[in-house]
Amino acid sequence: MTGGTWYAARHFPSAYGSAGGIKINEKTEAIGEDWKQIPGLYAAGTDACAIYGDSYPFIFPGTSMGFALNTGRMAAESAKDYVYRCEQEV
């Protein structure tokens, strides 16, 4: 393939998850540096996994899986509500 910009990275997956990520609010809406929600943008799982350090210890396998499952559900529900609100405004 030709054209465009290509990047390469070396990745070492781990068993637990990440210790950082996209900041989210209680509806899993992504929030910016100003701590305001970004309408229509949601994050879940290890992309938003900033729960370690002040909430959960980073030593137990499976804690990131529970967070991923629950925030995925929450993000889907919040996105559904967002789409419904947008449809009502049209």
Q: What is the number of structural domains in the chain?
A: 1
Q: Is residue 46 part of a domain?
A: yes
Note the pLDDT tens digit of each residue in 54-83. Answer: 555 555 566 677 778 889 999 999 999 999
Q: Is residue 2 part of a domain?
A: no
Confidence at 53, pLDDT banded by 50, 70, 90: low
Q: Is residue 85 part of a domain?
A: yes
Q: Which two tokens stand for residue 54?
A: 């002040």
Distance CA 60, CA 15 (A): 9
Q: Is residue 7 part of a domain?
A: no
Q: Is residue 5 part of a domain?
A: no
| Domain assignment of residue 62, given as a range | 29-89
Q: Is residue 12 part of a domain?
A: no
